[in-house]
Amino acid sequence: MLDVFRYCEYANGHFALHSGIELKRLEMHNYLQASWKRTGLLGLLMFFAFGLASAQSDLAEEADQAYERGAYATSLKEYIKAYPKVKDIDEKGRIAFMAGESFMRLMEPTGAEEWYDKAIGLRYGSQSPDVYLHYGEAMSMQQEFDEAIEWYITYKENGGDPSVAEAMIEQADNDALELMEPSSRYIVDNLLRLNSTSYDFGAGFASKKADAIVFASSRESSAGSGEDPITGQRYMDLFTAEQDKKENWSTPEPLNSTVNTEYNEGTVTFDKKYRSIYFTRCISDEDNSYACDIYRSSTMGKRYGPSEVVELVNREDDDSSQVAHPSFSVDNDFLMFVSDMPGGFGGKDIWYVAYDDKEDTFGKPVNMGSNVNSDGDEMFPTMRYDGALYYASTKLGKMGGLDIVRALPAEGTMKFEKAEPLPYPINSSGDDFSMIFKDDEDAGIFTSSRPGGKGKDDLYSFRLPEMEFCYQGDVFDAYTGNPLGATVIINGSNGDSFSVTADGSDGTFSLCDNEIKNNTTYDVEVNYEGYIVTGDRFSTIGLSNSTTMTREFPMNEVVLDVEYNMPLVLYPFDESALLINDEVNSADSLNYLLSIMERNETFVVQLESHTDSRGNASYNKELSQKRAQTCVDYLISRGVTRDRLVAVGHGKERLLISDAEIVKMSTEEEKERAHQANRRTVFRILRFDYEPGN
């Protein structure tokens, strides 16, 4: 990613350009040990530029000087020009390596791959194993992760830092897995109608309906004449495009000359009424590049009036701090921007100033704080309608390069929680930045240099589609297995209610087609004449992916004075209280019957408790009666009317498995399971004519 904010920095010598990690030469060793990221390779590049001394040849001197001042398009041409003329093998290998580095600075990994290959063929790896590391980086940027890992291993085997190699290998493995099995549902598409083979980035919506945008581009139709020595392309201008009713974008057209100049313009935002455009401009002449500033211009229909600088720093006291990437808060009370001014956390930070719309005045800059900023670069801020802050960071992401992160609002003015990176496919192995949202939608546009684009940086649309939920069931007779054409009634916590009938031929039903909503709990009731009403409860709350939920509903025919089994209810030894511990919760078992009583309001049931054959008969009878009463009391406590329940203890009178059968069993384990089967709690329906309320 090469944006206009960085252009002035090269000539003034404030920063080293990188697509991932800013690296000061004296901090290199500690940085590699502690906070290496995949695109950190480009931070290393400046080491070689600073380290050029006696080894450089006269033929490559101009190339080295161009590289040091950040003119990478120029340095590339000069290195390629010098390469065939140099006879010394070591110097020839170095020149090939630096040509590869220039390609990487220009975000062209395929070109870098070719020249790293030449350098390795000239045994440059014996001079510096970093050529293998950077080769791996070039392959990672192209999402060729297996080959990248091979180069990281080669780097380690040839004297490279093992901890760096292992970190890069782990990152490549993680990225490959993310590509195969994305952890998010985002859909990302290249906006081909808007993009060119050049740099296209930093869009801002120019209308409330988000059907018009303005973005920066270095395409051939830009106004600036001549070639930018950094990119080898035209200087950046701002372009606009509109979307028709079929959501097709028009051909981008440059803004008028009050905004576009022979200098670099980029990264725009609008006030909430779309009366003014704010943008970055970096002025330079033949001899000097000056600090970037934010400018603004009033809208005049589809044109813009004269532009003026927004004075966020006092240029009489500070003529070198960069100021760029404007973006308003949701309420328009604060203007966020990016700067390297003193008082930050290192690199470029996100700052803000209060804005008084009535007086049209700006307050003093305030740093966004350590929850937002790091010792790397934080750039391209934007605030979503819900107050969440989205921006790009070289240190807070996971997939390398600039990653887009989100910080949720916290208590206090312009305060935010710690930022978290967005998943793939929003973030990628390239640079990802400058995300903007349509109002109250999880959709919008961002910029990426990922593989497969049309140009250097491209604009991409993104959207998070609605999740699709299905609820399917199979209703059948619990005894015969025959399908039942039951009526299924579903009531949602969101107020939705609908009914379906199971297919009488196979007993199945299905609810899809967006009937089941996100973040909703549903109660299900299944009715079939002559059968005990059954049901279910399910929820879509907390689900992060489309889901199909499938249930079986074995239904029991209503038969009076027949023993119905229920889930196992357990009691402590020689006690009548329900057994509830870390492993068993007998109250959950009774909730099965509770559900039946709630869904079948005319039932009167008898709860019957049994013991095994061991122990005194009268004692077992008394204990089982107490246990049955415990079950009745539990159901009453949960709202079942007392006169719908009867408690009966049978003791050991009605064994399921006789003592004679148990004696014949071969193991103690089998025998104990048989005794447990006898220690059961069941229910039987006494009547189904109870009248609620009487």
Inter-residue contact 293 to 264 (CB < 8 Å)? no
pLDDT at residue 285, as a whole number: 63
Instruction: Give Cα 432 to chain centroid, integer Å.
Output: 13
CATH entry, 36-180, from 1.10.10.10, 1.25.40.10, 3.40.50.2300, 1.10.10.410: 1.25.40.10
Dist CA 262 CA 100 (whole Å): 30
Residues 6+ apart with CB under 8 A from 84: none
Q: Coil, strand, or helix at residue 10? A: helix
Alpha-carbon span 126 to 143, nearest angstrom: 27
Angle in degrees, 0-180, between the axes of helices 58-68 and 89-105, rounded to the nearest 10: 20
Q: Would you report the helix, strand and coil content of the chain in percent, each value rounded to 5?
A: 25, 30, 45
With a cut of 50, which residues of the chain have pLDDT below it? 1-55
Q: In what order do the strands lie in the sheet with 443-448?
A: 187-190, 458-463, 443-448, 432-437
Is the distance from CB of 12 to CB of 289 less than 8 angstroms?
A: yes
Residue 238 CA to residue 267 CA, distance in Å, equals 8
- Give the DSSP H or E segment for 90: helix 89-105
Distance spanning both ends of the chain, measured CA to CA = 77
Q: Where are the domain boundaries for CATH 2.60.40.1120 in the chain?
A: 469-555
Residue range 187-463 forms a domain whose CATH class is: mainly beta
Domain 469-555 CATH superfamily: Carboxypeptidase-like, regulatory domain (2.60.40.1120)
Chain centroid to CA 318:
39
Question: Which part of the chain is CATH 3.30.1330.60?
Answer: 563-687
What are 339's two structure tokens? 């700067």
Q: What CATH number has the domain spanning 563-687?
A: 3.30.1330.60
Cα 471 from Cα 516, distance rounded (Å) = 8
How far is C-alpha 221 from the chain's CA centre?
36
Closest to 373 in 3D by CA, of 354, 355, 394: 394
Distance from C-alpha of 157 to C-alpha of 632, rounded to nearest angstrom:
74
Helix axis angle for 617-637 and 586-599, nearest 10°, is 60
Q: How many residues make up the chain in this entry?
A: 694
Return the pLDDT at 262. Answer: 87
What token pair was written down for 325?
Answer: 């990437």
pLDDT value for 224 = 58
Ramachandran angles phi, psi of 11, nearest 5°: -65, -35
Q: Are 295 and 327 in contact (CB under 8 A)?
A: no
486, two tokens: 């039951």
Residue intervals of the chain classified under CATH 1.25.40.10 are 36-180
The conformation of residue 252, written as its DSSP 8-state character, comes to P
pTM of the model: 0.69
Distance CA 79, CA 467 (A): 53
Cβ burial of 412 (10 Å; 0-12, 13-18, 19+) is exposed
pLDDT in tens, 330-363: 999 999 999 999 999 988 999 999 999 999 999 9
Q: Name the token pair of 421.
A: 């990176």
Distance set, CA 395 to CA 102, 115, 137, 307, 376 (Å): 23, 28, 17, 34, 6
541/543 Cα distance (integer angstroms): 6
Q: What local confidence, expressed as pLDDT, does residue 283 receive? A: 84
CA-to-CA distance for 40 and 44, rounded, in angstroms? Answer: 7
CA 349, CA 22: separation in Å to the nearest integer? 13
CA distances for 655 relative to 317, 564, 612, 652, 679, angstroms: 96, 15, 7, 6, 9
Q: Which residue has the tokens 């041409």?
A: 77
